[in-house]
Structure 1
Amino acid sequence: MTKEKFRFYKDHPKTCNKDDFWGQVKRTVNGVPVSQDQIDFIVSAVTNELKLNREDMLLDLCCGNGALSALFFEYCSGGLGVDFSEYLISIANKNFSDSQNKKFILQDVVEFCECPIMANKFTKMVCYGSFSYIEKERAKSLLCLLKSEFHNLERIFIGNCPDKNLLADFYGEQLIEPGIENEPDSPIGIWRTQEEFILLAKDCGWRAAIHKMSDQYYAAYYRYDVILTR
């Protein structure tokens, strides 16, 4: 997500109140921030599927403003969030970082993985709700780099992936723009079937398992999660 066409993701947060943490990262329904129970669903899924414990160091790629990262970090020894938005990282560092265990840095996530800091300290990784906005070739590079450069990563959680088989369910009666499912800078990003994601992971050296949220989760009807292991 380095191209100028992704300007929206850097500019939108500046239109929100400084304490509107969910609005800043578009964790909303019809423009309204999701309720706490929806956030709880996310935290429960990530912490349980990653099997987070006090010995883990968590890497959060595309961490945004760190509001969600901070909730994950409570379940482990600490973590690092990485994002390309200078404004969102400033929010993260102001509200959710500390000098020892919880840190946030400004960098493109693929570039970070090409030359990572503390690579061997990370045991788990999460990318929630943002993987679909990474261009296809860069997404593949990212997964390959996570395998080759982060030798102690045991589990990866890639969350809230849009399912291409459920594209029509999401759009309903709306006219679907041809090819929009392949555009990383579209409102939802790149849609993949579960089978496509499993194959992508395999090509990068990972085993993939699909996780589905409870029907009570607001986006369960068209999204899924992926857990990667070596």
Structure 2
Amino acid sequence: MKPSTPENDSYDAHARTCDPNDLWGQVKRTVQGTPLPEEQIQLILSNTSAALALSESDVLLDLCCGNGALSTHWFAACADGVGVDASPYLIEVARSRFAPDRPERFLLSEVLDYLQSADLRSDFTKAVCYGSLQYLSPERAGAVLALLRTKCPRISRIVIGNIPDRDRATEFFGRDMPGTPELDTPRSAIGVWHTQQGFIALAQRSGWHCQTRLMPADFYAAHYRFDAILTPLV
């Protein structure tokens, strides 16, 4: 794992301030500080599973898995799965709650380091990164996608979920629309705002065909976020 960074330290520190049972608060899956209701979580789980086309034969890699609260549901539909996250506390929560007898299921690492390491498994068939890739710079995000293409040749589908949509940023910010620097930085509260076409181009440069889609209208963030579904470029 890389030396700690201000972003990772802040992410880990926030999780430690939450109640041990507040799994959604720990990973900031909240609206104005309130954890998402169960029906919203179910929308995330069901729509992401469908986008991944999960099957019992799949081996799923969950990048930036947090405390594993989403991962464990997706893994249950697969033959196996591994979650990776840079927060020591959240990986501790994931292991103790969801894999007490399988410490190798949730790994402590910055995702780019993991994809470059000797620990990377070669049998992953699907991958997901939900609500987190925007906290990497476009250059690092592209490197992650490129490594998934070259180091994990069996992966047939990736879902990058909950990406902030730059073309609809005013629907989130209203009159308080920030300037370009804040929209471009992975260190902001929401991370990098990508246009859908820009993200498609980023994926293509990394070896992936990319389709974007919106969540159902009753999803709390449907008005300013999008998902991306990646399949290998031939």
Q: For this structure pair, what is the TM-score category when the shorter chain's length is used for normalisation? A: over 0.9
Which of 76, 86, 90 pairs up with 1:88? 90
* Partners of 1:194 and 1:20 in 2: CA distance: 32
Q: Does 1:215 align with 2:217?
A: yes
8 Å contact from structure 2 (residues 95, 103) kept in 1 = no
* Partners of 1:173 and 1:17 in 2: CA distance: 34
8 Å contact from structure 2 (residues 8, 86) kept in 1 = no
Output the amino acid matched with 2:208.
Answer: W
Name the TM-score, length of structure 1 as normaliser: 0.95
Q: Does 1:52 align with 2:54?
A: yes
Q: In the TM superposition, what is the alpha-carbon distance from 1:178 to its structure 2 partner?
A: 4.1
Match of 1:12 in 2: 14
Q: In the TM superposition, what is the alpha-carbon distance from 1:45 to its structure 2 partner?
A: 1.1
* Partners of 2:120 and 2:139 in 1: CA distance: 25
Segment drifting more, 44-53 vs 115-124: 115-124
8 Å contact from structure 2 (residues 169, 177) kept in 1 = no
Where do 1:65-80 residues align within 5 Å? 65-80=67-82
* Partners of 1:127 and 1:101 in 2: CA distance: 20
* Partners of 1:123 and 1:5 in 2: CA distance: 30
Name the TM-score, length of structure 2 as normaliser: 0.94
Segment drifting more, 94-103 vs 59-68: 94-103
8 Å contact from structure 2 (residues 18, 26) kept in 1 = yes
Per-residue deviation, residues 84-123 of structure 1 (Å, max 9, x unmatched): 0000000000001153598101001001001253532110
Output the amino acid matched with 1:167.
Answer: A
Q: 1:116/1:71 Cα in 2 relative to 1: closer, same or farther (>3 Å)? A: farther
Match of 2:126 in 1: 124
Per-residue deviation, residues 62-93 of structure 1 (Å, max 9, x unmatched): 00000010111111112000000000000000
Q: Give me the identity figure in percent.
A: 42
Match of 1:36 in 2: 38
* Partners of 2:32 and 2:178 in 1: CA distance: 19
Per-residue deviation, residues 127-173 of structure 1 (Å, max 9, x unmatched): 00000001221111111100000010010000000000011111012
Q: Give unmatched runs, 5+ long, in structure 2.
A: none
Per-residue deviation, residues 175-216 of structure 1 (Å, max 9, x unmatched): 524411111010100011000000001101100011210010
Q: In the TM superposition, what is the alpha-carbon distance from 1:7 to its structure 2 partner?
A: 2.5
Over the residues paired in the alignment, what is the CA RMSD in angstroms? 1.6
